Amino acid sequence: MNWTEVKIYTTTGGIEIINGALINLGIDDAVIEDAGVFDDFIHNDTLNWDYYDEELAEMKNCESCIKVYLSDDNQGKSLFKEIEKFIDGLKEEYKDIDLGRLEIETQILNDEDWANNWKQYFKPFTVSDKIIIKPTWEELSEPVEDKIVLEIDPGMSFGTGQHHTTRLCIEQMIKHVQKDTDVLDMGCGSGILSIAALLLGAKRATGVDIDENAVKTAKENAELNDIFEDRLALHCGDVTEDEDLQRKIGFEKYDMIVVNIIAQIIIGMSSTFPKFLKKGGLIIASGIIKKYVDDVVRNFEGLGFEIMEINESDEWVSVTARL
């Protein structure tokens, strides 16, 4: 299959606005290139990076950009029209905010192009000295000793675990997953959090995502780690709107929910969390920018959650709370 790469040029301030709109369109696998991050890379040699492209060190005057990949078919073309419509609306709605030039560029990629473009950026790395996240095409240069190795191929879902938000989730899961834990992964993407939970010893996991490609990729990644349907159930759909899907997932049965999405989406789906959790169950939420953490905390407390921990990495925050 061919894919259409869609680049939307904006500013650091426009990234969250555009990314939130894309998620509302059912596109939750955006690749973000933030000019502010590139600037930090160029001017600060003390940062601890999971991976980098050596050419970044030579980059000057970078421009923030959000990239999404749409299937080159009728569904993809329909989504592209929705993106164009949204961007045109932004230009009118946010006249007083610098959102950059808001121009869209596209190019067609085939599957081989995609693989070649992404494999060079994804290298093995360790989370909390406990889990090694390893792409399938890389070899480990050192013995793993007592570490858990999680094999993954990101496919068209970009949840490789390298972002601060996913790392924050896994660090909390390492603290709280027990052998009898039943985990619900909401917005499962590549499946990395579900797989990590099971490799850490969870009894069972359920993943749900609005994107069919994400669910397919999650299944393939689970199988890479010898995890099959008897331990990991995967569903596609909008869990906030689809009551049949909610019943299929199961009410009041989960010990833990993990969710790694932006703050506004977390708040939007939060009313479902108490439905799925057992009394005393945990929510581990990440993908939250610092300036929105108070909104998430108030929302959780209003639903009856007790805040246990708030953790930060760079500008990102995770919130762990108990029902």
pLDDT in tens, the chain (323 residues): 688 889 999 987 788 788 878 877 877 667 777 766 544 444 444 434 343 444 444 444 568 888 888 888 888 899 999 999 989 888 777 777 788 899 999 998 876 666 566 566 566 677 877 888 887 777 777 767 788 888 887 665 544 445 678 889 999 999 999 999 999 999 998 899 999 999 999 999 999 998 888 898 899 999 999 999 999 999 999 998 899 999 999 999 999 999 998 888 899 999 999 999 999 999 999 988 888 899 999 999 999 999 999 999 877 899 999 99
pLDDT value, residue 69: 85
**Distance (Å, whole) CA 294 – CA 122:** 33
Assign 131 to helix, strand or coil: strand
**Distance (Å, whole) CA 247 – CA 104:** 40
pLDDT value, residue 104: 95
**Distance (Å, whole) CA 99 – CA 303:** 34
Phi-psi region of 189 (alpha: psi -120 to 50; beta: other; left: phi over 0): left
Unique residue bearing structure tokens 């590139």? 38
pLDDT value, residue 298: 97
Q: How many CA atoms lie within 13 A of 244 on its CB side?
A: 3
Q: Quote the radius of gyration of the chain (alpha carbons, Å).
A: 19
pLDDT value, residue 118: 57
**Distance (Å, whole) CA 200 – CA 194:** 10
CB 134 within 8 A of CB 150: yes
pLDDT value, residue 59: 44
pLDDT value, residue 274: 97
**Distance (Å, whole) CA 248 – CA 242:** 10
**Distance (Å, whole) CA 12 – CA 19:** 11
In single-letter form, the type of residue at position 174 comes to: I
Measuring CA to CA, which residue among 28, 36, 101 is closest to residue 68? Answer: 28
Q: Hey, what long-range contacts does 88-96 have (CB within 8 A, 24 or more apart)?
A: 90/14, 90/17, 90/18, 90/21, 94/14, 94/17
**Distance (Å, whole) CA 77 – CA 62:** 29
